[in-house]
Amino acid sequence: MMNLDSKVPKGNLSEKWTNHKFNMKLVNPANKRKYDVIVVGTGLAGAGAAATLGELGYKVKAFTYHDSSRRAHSIAAQGGINAAKDYQNDGDSVYRLFYDTIKGGDFRSREANTFRLAEVSNNIIDQCVAQGVPFAREYGGTLANRSFGGAQVSRTFYARGETGQQLLLGAYSSLNRQIKLGNVEMYHRREMLDLVIVDGKAKGITVRNLITGEVESYAAQAVVLATGGYSNVFFLSTSAMMSNATAAWRAHKKGAAFANPCFTQIHPTCLPQHGEGQSKLVLMSESLRNDGRIWVPNIVGEKRPVNEIPESDRDYYLERRYPSFGNLAPRDISSRSAKYACDEGKGVNGGRSVYLDFADAIKRIGEPAVREKYGNLFEMYENITAENPYKVPMQIYPAPHYTMGGLWVDYNLMSSIPGLFVAGEANFSDHGANRLGASALMQGLADGYFVIPYTVGNYFGSEKPEKVDVKGTEFNAAKESVNESSNKLLSINGKQTVDDIHRKLGDLLIDKVGMSRDEAGLKEVITKISDLRDEFWNDVKVVGKSEDINLNLERAGRVADFLELGELMAVDALNRDESCGAHFREEHQTSEGEAIRNDDEFAYVAAWEFEKAGKWKLHKENLEFESVELATRSYK
Amino acid sequence: MKETKINLTLKVWRQESAKSKGNFEEFKVAVSPHSSILEMFDELNNRLELEGKIPIAFESDCREGICGTCGLVINGHPHGEKKKTATCQMHMRSFKEGETIYIEPFRAKAFPILRDLMVDRSGLDKIQQAGGYASFNTGSAPDANAILISKETASLALDAAECIGCGACVAACKNSSAMLFVSAKVSQFALLPQGQPERYERVQNMVIAHDESGFGSCTNTYACEAECPKGISISNIARMNRDYFVSNLKLQNV
């Protein structure tokens, strides 16, 4: 029987974390070195956790499938990181950051977790500055801030358009220090392929060495997964090429509940697809929407070149429908509106893109001012598309970008398997049904630096540091099943490549489990994904051998998992018969097309227990709101 | 939308392992001018897999020029001829119909070839582990605004900190020196107040680790700066050399 106790501490919202930290069990400094912790993934959450656990004196083994721990996809985050410092004296506070985040998530996250996130946000900035992260500064030497979507205060800290890179390199530097001190053992080019459970507790992992192909076992008294999100289930997304759900999914199949899988964020300002050969989509900072005007031609089948389409034949659809927020409407609304316009055939050249036009801004403030604000983004756009956005409007289209869903965790970030912790984008905990900008970096580092190190210690407080035998039955069984699955993939020898099938899955998902969903479509896609999974296991072609470098085999394993996860996303979307945040059900909207949430029936976390591929059992964790009142989001 | 494709001949370095002998293999491809060079490889690999052949091994991840995973030598230039771009940001429209393109891995003694275009750059991590940090434990930091840093200093430090650790500087250098890479991190900390307590120890340790990892000496040819996808300036090397000199004096108690 699955236990979904959220373990939220009693007491006032603002005192929960402080009291909880005081009540936690401690491990004597001399005993800490007797405990081994495995950390999988070295992005912000993983590197932060591994470094901090090492500093505390635990013996850490950190794993990444990259050649270096600095390459995790946290590095690509552009915009910034939120914190409630109130350095701008504009009325910010921990409570306001908490409220903005929980409202932005359309009241589908756990109140206590979201509050803690806001609470530790300030420590993160202090920590990063101490590490030497070169944040943007004012002339007087203090830290600079900028504004971001979904907030009315200026609380975002940044380092040019490379905030993720600088924060990750900060965490990487702390990790390197612990590696040198011998507290962290770093394992590169290892992909986690199974979780090992001994006597009901997570005690180790099975990995494939991506250079030798050898399957290896590692044991510890606790395992932390910080393996990122699953946007690549859509094939085309802004995630890095290797980003995948395999580690989390294999843990799910071993008993960890998967929560709210249908909460996936589709970001409005990405570059459109250039053609069939596209492998990945590129995001442009949403700050562009501050001055760019979004429009489509009014006439279906418009053939005139863009500069010859008169004002009267243009539809500035966001300004028309949301006069007060206009082009700055939230991510989910902007994305959905672009989809509808293109569905109607009003996309640029009848295709799937809309204009983001700076002509008015250039007229109003002049080209130099536009260049100063957005120069690097315009350059990036021109480099990719070979079109000059100062002369011709940009073309944009939404793309899968972030996944709010993930492995279910309690307040301690422990999954439904004792000893298995989940941090960062890989867990479901803080963003509800929609994430605000500049909050992903905040959550990764909050979990890694300030939550996991405490809660893992608390877990050890009641766990004996007994050594686990990596040659034990459970480890051998896991190894065998990994080998078996590799051999199976290599022996099918069908007629479609891994990418061929992955693309098909992506097309199904973006169409039916993307920006808008409905009952008929979801039912249809569940069957289709199940059929596609059969197709994969009967007709895929994977070349090479397993005892070797084999990038084809790596991708095959990941896509096999996506084919199961994709179905669960649809199952979850079908179950959630309401519209909230990024999850928009066509059946639940006002006559003006606004989402209708159903708090009476759906104010819960949907946590799915794996029974077999295509069959899950639903568990509900009711969301209780003690301090905030549930309100309807309005951006009119 | 029907698009015209460009026809190209590729000469791609194939090598099964570090120990085996490599050679160029020729491929004919027709590719969209809008594709990136790595998307061209994705398409080519898909074709090879379908034919039951082993795809070309190359590495990439973010495809936005920031993770530093990709790195090919294209017609003799690490990351291609275009300035300040990583391999993943190179688009096929910069090639002409019928052109032949030579594609090789980053070549350096300290970067053994693993397979085809994949190399082992773990030496770079070893250098960072030797001292690329400020020794602060989590939780011990003062309020962020307690440390004032001028806008100019922060900006200079960020210029250096933008290094993506791809190793193009090493591949570009005739001595396979990684000094641009080392100096970028040394400079970032030398410029910032947080880096001062360990400033001279850091430069010593990182330079020693550089030499021990098999990278060569810097002879100021500036090739690294010319090929760096992030435009890291060689003035960082000058700054590092100055600190290294001072650190030697300090070691001798001069």
Tell me the per-residue pLDDT of B175-189, one tens digit each, with 9 for 90 and over: 999 999 999 999 999
Residue A148 has pLDDT above 80, yes or no: no
Q: How far is B70 from chain A (nearest CA, A)?
A: 10
The H-or-E segment that residue A621 falls in is strand A615-622
- What are the phi and psi torsion angles at B243 (to 5°)? -65, -35
- Summarize pLDDT for A16-28 with one digit per residue, the tens: 999 999 999 999 9
Residue A594 lies in a domain: yes
pLDDT at res. A146: 85
B101 and B127 part of one domain: no
Tokens of A417: 């398997």
- Picking from A400, A419, A454, the residue at the C-terminal end of a domain is A400
B168 and B213 part of one domain: yes
Of A207-211, A444-448, A462-466, the poorest mean pLDDT is in: A462-466
Residue B195 lies in a domain: yes
Give which of A176, A353, A554 to mutate to test B binding, by max B Cβ within 10 Å: A176
- Contact across the interface for A143 and B68, Cβ inside 8 Å: no
**If you average pLDDT over every residue of chain A, what do you get?**
95
Residue A144 lies in a domain: no
B56 touches chain A (CB under 8 A): no
B81 and B202 part of one domain: no
- Picking from A400, A415, A436, the residue at the C-terminal end of a domain is A400
Q: How far is A165 from chain B (nearest CA, A)?
A: 7
Of A38-47, A608-617, B207-216, B245-254, the poorest mean pLDDT is in: B245-254
Q: How far is A389 from chain B (nearest CA, A)?
A: 17
Alpha carbon A204 to its chain's center? 24
pLDDT at res. B2: 55
A289 and A375 part of one domain: yes
B44 touches chain A (CB under 8 A): no
User: From the list A129, A165, A180, which residue is nearest B141 (CB)?
Assistant: A129
Helix axes A44-56, A163-180, angle to 10 degrees: 30
- Summarize pLDDT for A317-369 with one digit per residue, the tens: 999 998 887 888 878 889 999 999 999 999 999 999 999 999 999 999 999 98
Residue A289 has pLDDT above 90, yes or no: no
* Residues of chain A contacting B145 with CB distance shorter than 8 Å: 85, 87, 142-143
Domain interval for residue A563: 475-603
- Contact across the interface for A68 and B121, Cβ inside 8 Å: yes
B155 and B212 part of one domain: yes
Mean pLDDT of B223-240: 98
Contacts of A564 (CB under 8 A, 6+ apart): A249, A533, A613, A614
Residue type, B241: N
A385 and A496 part of one domain: no
The conformation of residue B92, written as its DSSP 8-state character, comes to: G
pLDDT at res. B253: 83
Q: What stretches of chain B show up as alpha helix (H) in DSSP?
A: 37-50, 122-129, 151-161, 168-172, 179-191, 199-212, 223-227, 235-251
pLDDT at res. A635: 66
B110 and B152 part of one domain: no
Under the banding of pLDDT at 50, 70 and 90, the label for residue A186 is very high
Under the banding of pLDDT at 50, 70 and 90, the label for residue A276 is confident
A93 burial type by CB count under 10 A (0-12 exposed, 13-18 middle, 19+ buried): middle
Contacts of A468 (CB under 8 A, 6+ apart): A198, A203, A204, A219, A220, A221
Hey, which residues does A40 pair with through a beta bridge? A63, A225
User: From the list B132, B136, B140, which residue is nearest A176 (CB)?
Assistant: B132
B96 and B184 part of one domain: no
Contacts of A477 (CB under 8 A, 6+ apart): none
pLDDT at res. A20: 98
How many structural domains does chain B have? 2
Residue B226 lies in a domain: yes
Q: How far is A189 from chain B (nearest CA, A)?
A: 11
Query: Which B residues in the span 78-117 are in contact with A, Cβ-Cβ below 8 Å?
Result: 85, 89, 91, 93, 114-115
Residue A127 lies in a domain: no
Query: Which B residues in the span 13-32 are in contact with A, Cβ-Cβ below 8 Å?
Result: 31-32
Whichever domain contains B164, its CATH number is: 1.10.1060.10
Residue B1 has pLDDT above 60, yes or no: no
B154 touches chain A (CB under 8 A): yes
Residue A635 lies in a domain: no
Residue type, A313: D
Residue B142 lies in a domain: no
Give which of B66, B122, B186, B191 to mutate to test A binding, by max A Cβ within 10 Å: B66
Catalytic position from the list A110, A331, A517, A576: A331
- Contact across the interface for A383 and B91, Cβ inside 8 Å: yes
- Contact across the interface for A543 and B147, Cβ inside 8 Å: no
Cβ count within 10 A of residue B220: 12
Tokens of A180: 């040198």
pLDDT at res. A257: 98
A287 and A380 part of one domain: yes
B86 and B129 part of one domain: no
Nearest C-alpha neighbor of B58 from the set B108, B15, B101, B5: B15
- Contact across the interface for A127 and B141, Cβ inside 8 Å: yes
Residue B140 lies in a domain: no
Nearest C-alpha neighbor of A566 from the set A602, A527, A538, A604: A527
Whichever domain contains A318, its CATH number is: 3.90.700.10
Residue A72 lies in a domain: no
- Summarize pLDDT for B77-97 with one digit per residue, the tens: 999 999 999 999 999 999 999
- What are the phi and psi torsion angles at A102 (to 5°)? -75, -35
pLDDT at res. A304: 93
Nearest-CA residue of chain A relative to B148?
Answer: A141
Residue A264 has pLDDT above 60, yes or no: yes
Residue B1 lies in a domain: no
Residue B141 lies in a domain: no
B128 and B91 part of one domain: no
- Contact across the interface for B1 and A349, Cβ inside 8 Å: yes
Residue B139 lies in a domain: no
- Contact across the interface for B124 and A68, Cβ inside 8 Å: yes
Tokens of A140: 């007087």
Whichever domain contains A512, its CATH number is: 1.20.58.100
User: From the list B55, B118, B194, which residue is nearest A130 (CB)?
Assistant: B194
Cβ count within 10 A of residue B100: 11
A390 and A282 part of one domain: yes
Q: Please state, in angstroms and rounded to a whole number, the distance separating the CA atoms of residues A288 and A219.
A: 48
- Summarize pLDDT for A396-445 with one digit per residue, the tens: 999 999 999 999 999 999 999 999 999 999 999 999 999 988 999 999 99
Q: For chain A, what percent of residues have pLDDT higher than 90?
A: 89
Nearest-CA residue of chain B relative to A494?
Answer: B50
The reply to whether ipTM tops 0.95 is yes
Q: How many residues does chain A have?
A: 636
Of A385-394, A586-595, B190-199, the poorest mean pLDDT is in: A586-595
B164 touches chain A (CB under 8 A): yes
Domain interval for residue B60: 6-115
How many structural domains does chain A have? 2
- Contact across the interface for B150 and A351, Cβ inside 8 Å: no
The conformation of residue A431, written as its DSSP 8-state character, comes to: S
* Residues of chain B contacting A285 with CB distance shorter than 8 Å: none
Nearest-CA residue of chain A relative to B2?
Answer: A275
Q: How far is A219 from chain B (nearest CA, A)?
A: 25
Q: Please state, in angstroms and rounded to a whole number, the distance separating the CA atoms of residues B99 and B93.
A: 12
- Contact across the interface for B89 and A384, Cβ inside 8 Å: yes
B14 and B85 part of one domain: yes
Whichever domain contains B13, its CATH number is: 3.10.20.30
Give which of B51, B111, B136 to mutate to test A binding, by max A Cβ within 10 Å: B136
Give which of B5, B19, B138 to mutate to test A binding, by max A Cβ within 10 Å: B138
B38 and B156 part of one domain: no
* Residues of chain B contacting A274 with CB distance shorter than 8 Å: 32, 34-35
Residue found under tokens 């300035």? B83
Most distant CA atoms of chain A, gap in Å: 75
Q: What does each C-alpha distance from A266 to A269, A335, A345, A439, A510 come to in angstroms?
A: 9, 7, 20, 15, 10
Residue A636 has pLDDT above 90, yes or no: no
- Picking from A400, A430, A465, the residue at the C-terminal end of a domain is A400
Tell whether pTM > 0.95: yes
A395 and A496 part of one domain: no
Residue A471 has pLDDT above 80, yes or no: yes
- Asked whether the beta carbons of B240 and B203 are under 8 A apart, the reply is yes
B35 touches chain A (CB under 8 A): yes
Whether A331 is catalytic is yes
Virtual CA dihedral for B78, B84, B89, B90, nearest 10 degrees? Answer: -60
* Residues of chain B contacting A129 with CB distance shorter than 8 Å: 141, 144, 147, 194
* Residues of chain A contacting B141 with CB distance shorter than 8 Å: 123, 126-127, 129-130
* Residues of chain B contacting A275 with CB distance shorter than 8 Å: 1, 3, 32, 34-35
Contacts of B39 (CB under 8 A, 6+ apart): A277, A278, A279, B31
Residue A530 lies in a domain: yes
B225 and B158 part of one domain: yes
User: From the list B93, B118, B158, which residue is nearest A386 (CB)?
Assistant: B93
* Residues of chain B contacting A173 with CB distance shorter than 8 Å: 128, 132-134
Q: Please state, in angstroms and rounded to a whole number, the distance separating the CA atoms of residues A339 and B42.
A: 28
Q: How many residues does chain B have?
A: 254
Nearest-CA residue of chain A relative to B123?
Answer: A68
- Contact across the interface for B144 and A176, Cβ inside 8 Å: no
B125 and B247 part of one domain: yes
Residue B34 lies in a domain: yes
More confident residue, B94 or A372: B94
- Contact across the interface for A134 and B114, Cβ inside 8 Å: no
